[in-house]
Amino acid sequence: MATYKVNGKVAEAPAGDKLLPHLIDGGTHVPHYCWHRGLTPAGNCRMCLVKVSNSRKLEVACMYPVSEGLEVTTEGPDVDAGRQAVLEYMLINHPLDCPVCDKAGECDLQDNTFKYRNGHSRFDENKVIRHTKDLGPNVKIWGNRCISCTRCVRFTEEITGTGELSIVNRGDHSVADVHPDVPLDNPMSLNVVDICPVGALIDKNFLYQARVWFSKKVPSVCTGCSRGCNITGTVLHNQVKRLQPRENHDVNGFWMCDAGRLDHEWLSGTDRLRVTKGDAGDLARRLVAVRDRNGAGSVAMLISTAATVEELHLAAKLAQRVQAEVYFLGKVRGARWVSPSGFAIETDKTPNTRGALRVFELDALPPASGVVDAIRAGRIKAVLSINGIHDADWPEGLVDLAPRLELAAALDVCENDWTKVCGSVLPSAAWAEKSGTFVNRDGRLQRIQPIVAATGTAQPDVVWLQQMLIELGERRTAISAEGVLREALRGIDYRQIGQTGVVLDAPSAPAGVGK
């Protein structure tokens, strides 16, 4: 440990560590572009200049090591002059693009220019024009805006290991680019958009969708796989416009995969269910009637592993009430993909398999195909499905067997073949429209919260299920999702979970129920 001083205040850090992270952690503002906590420092943008007692010139904090007795000054006329000069140099060829640049509003270059510069340029010559082109299926580059910080290049080298990007050309013509015939199409490619400190790399799906200062950002958890990456949703006019990773070193680091990031477009799709067919109380009574006619075990519940812990808990209670057999609905599995840096995309594409195991106290989940066999065998006379995703892995033959059932009912988010044959359909709120918790593959309990409001008569399943339970005499009044969680997990509440989650039990990943 070395003791050093920041603006006169004593601080401590391991000798030899780079200064910048410690300065930032200590609450000192140091503008920077090329340094990113998740990448190796490169020290090429020169924005993080600070004055240090060991050197007569200004030094870049991201590369300068901490040493015993070092005195660091991060503000004052000298430092400001240095930063101003660096900025002026960067702006020489930077276009006046802010009005059409999607980064505007969250752009480091814009913020620092506003802070350090006077809006005047001494450069009268013509600016260098660089390419604007697609780099891959999701990413487009506006080369003019690139400040050659190499964050994106280092990302593809260090994190994904795919190395599609590099800086091409020299001098003020240098710009990030892909190699010919090697598009930027790795499974995490969109992270470069987040780390690009300027608006050079742009998410084509988000292009011109929103001015960020009008939008609202809400933290949540991705439902794309059982890892449960922490995310932030950007919302405008009650529509999810984009999802971005949120830092959580126990789950996803700084990153998330492209598939999860784009898993919001269906939320405002035309096939979303918006009107109620039937009624929750009535449905509950009819389920009981089927049970009474055909005996225990004649009702099946097909529950998605994308349901929250709260929903699963209520579903379990309902299953007990109507003496139902429970089967689980998953999603088609993907291949596990692990980046060289250790970021993993899981095979189980639903977020809460582990939560289902825990709530139903099972060692393995009975797969949905079981219900088809049971109907064929004539055991099952009623099926109630509880599903919260648009692309569940519905068992083959279920729809065709519907005529054999006395009762087919669904709590679902989107219209599909199964909801079409159901007599009662209660529209559910999708993950971005409700509160709840998931247990990820490592046993970490994490929380989602409403990012947008549900449309039509859609309600969170927590509401529908409680209405059914109230009808059956289970409880007197409905309670909030948090109340249900407290009931389910005895005492854990949302405050304890916080924004990064809590570990419930030892990590040993369950397999999931998808094909």
Binding site for ligand FES (CB under 6 A): 32-35, 43-48, 60, 62
CB of 98 to ligand SF4, least distance (A): 3
CB of 88 to other proteins, least distance (A): 21
**Residue 152 interacts with which of ligand SF4, other proteins, ligand FES, none, CB < 5 to 8 Å by class:** ligand SF4
Q: Which long-range contacts (CB under 8 A, 24 or more apart) does 124-133 make?
A: 127/92, 127/93, 127/94, 127/95, 128/93, 128/172, 128/173, 130/173, 130/175, 131/175, 131/177
Q: How far is CA 129 from the centre of its chain?
A: 35
Q: How far is CA 422 from the centre of its chain?
A: 32
Q: Where do runs of H (alpha helix) occur along 274-409?
A: 280-294, 309-321, 353-360, 369-376, 398-401
Nearer residue to ligand SF4 within complex by CB, 212 or 382: 212
**Residue 514 interacts with which of other proteins, ligand SF4, ligand FES, none, CB < 5 to 8 Å by class:** none
Token reading at 400: 């065709």
**Residue 145 interacts with which of ligand SF4, other proteins, ligand FES, none, CB < 5 to 8 Å by class:** ligand SF4
Per rule CB under 8 A, count of chain residues that contact other proteins: 12
Which of 230, 464, 460, 441 shows the shortest CA–CA distance to 355? 441
Facing residues of 382 across strands?
A: 299, 407
CB of 166 to ligand SF4, least distance (A): 9
Token reading at 510: 């369950």
Residue 122 makes CB contacts below 8 A (sequence gap 6+) with 88
Asked if residues 371 and 408 have their Cβ atoms less than 8 Å apart, the reply is no
Nearer residue to ligand SF4 within complex by CB, 107 or 178: 107
In angstroms, the CA 324 to CA 299 distance is: 5
Q: Taking CB under 8 A as the criterion, which residues in 66-95 touch other proteins?
A: none
Residue type (1 letter), 226 = S
Residue choice 25, 54, 55, 100 for contact with other proteins (CB under 8 A): 100
Asked if residues 460 and 413 have their Cβ atoms less than 8 Å apart, the reply is no
**Residue 322 interacts with which of other proteins, ligand FES, ligand SF4, none, CB < 5 to 8 Å by class:** none
Residue type (1 letter), 39 = L
Residue type (1 letter), 441 = R
**Residue 148 interacts with which of other proteins, ligand SF4, ligand FES, none, CB < 5 to 8 Å by class:** ligand SF4
CB of 214 to other proteins, least distance (A): 7
**Residue 146 interacts with which of ligand FES, other proteins, ligand SF4, none, CB < 5 to 8 Å by class:** ligand SF4
CB of 70 to ligand FES, least distance (A): 17
Nearer residue to ligand SF4 within complex by CB, 76 or 214: 214
**Residue 199 interacts with which of ligand SF4, other proteins, ligand FES, none, CB < 5 to 8 Å by class:** ligand SF4
CB of 2 to other proteins, least distance (A): 47
Which of 1, 18, 3 shows the shortest CA–CA distance to 70? 3
CB of 254 to other proteins, least distance (A): 29
* φ/ψ of residue 506, rounded to 5: -60, 140
Footprint of ligand SF4 (CB under 6 A): 94, 97-99, 101, 103-104, 107, 109-110, 145-152, 176, 196, 198-201
Which of 295, 363, 353 shows the shortest CA–CA distance to 324? 295
Q: Taking CB under 8 A as the criterion, which residues in 132-151 touch other proteins?
A: 142
**Residue 196 interacts with which of other proteins, ligand FES, ligand SF4, none, CB < 5 to 8 Å by class:** ligand SF4
In angstroms, the CA 310 to CA 454 distance is: 18
Sign of CA dihedral 130, 135, 139, 140: positive
Does position 126 interact with other proteins (CB under 8 A)? The reply is no
Nearer residue to other proteins within complex by CB, 102 or 442: 102
In angstroms, the CA 322 to CA 300 distance is: 9
SS (H, E, C) 53-66: CCCCCCEECCCCEC
CB of 254 to ligand FES, least distance (A): 16
Nearer residue to other proteins within complex by CB, 126 or 508: 126
Nearer residue to ligand FES within complex by CB, 34 or 389: 34
Residue choice 17, 75, 97, 487 for contact with other proteins (CB under 8 A): 97
Residue with tokens 């030094």, as numbered in its chain? 59
**Residue 32 interacts with which of ligand FES, other proteins, ligand SF4, none, CB < 5 to 8 Å by class:** ligand FES
Token reading at 13: 């850090």
Nearer residue to ligand FES within complex by CB, 42 or 465: 42
CB of 98 to other proteins, least distance (A): 8
Kindly write down the DSSP assignment for every residue of 118-164, as one continuous string.
-S-----SPPPP--EEE-SSSEEEEGGG-----HHHHIIIIIS----
Query: Cα 188–194–200 angle (5° rounding)?
Result: 105
Q: How far is CA 193 from the centre of its chain?
A: 15
CB of 73 to other proteins, least distance (A): 36
CB of 168 to other proteins, least distance (A): 22
Nearer residue to other proteins within complex by CB, 16 or 99: 99
Binding site for other proteins (CB under 8 A): 96-100, 104, 142, 207-208, 211, 213-214
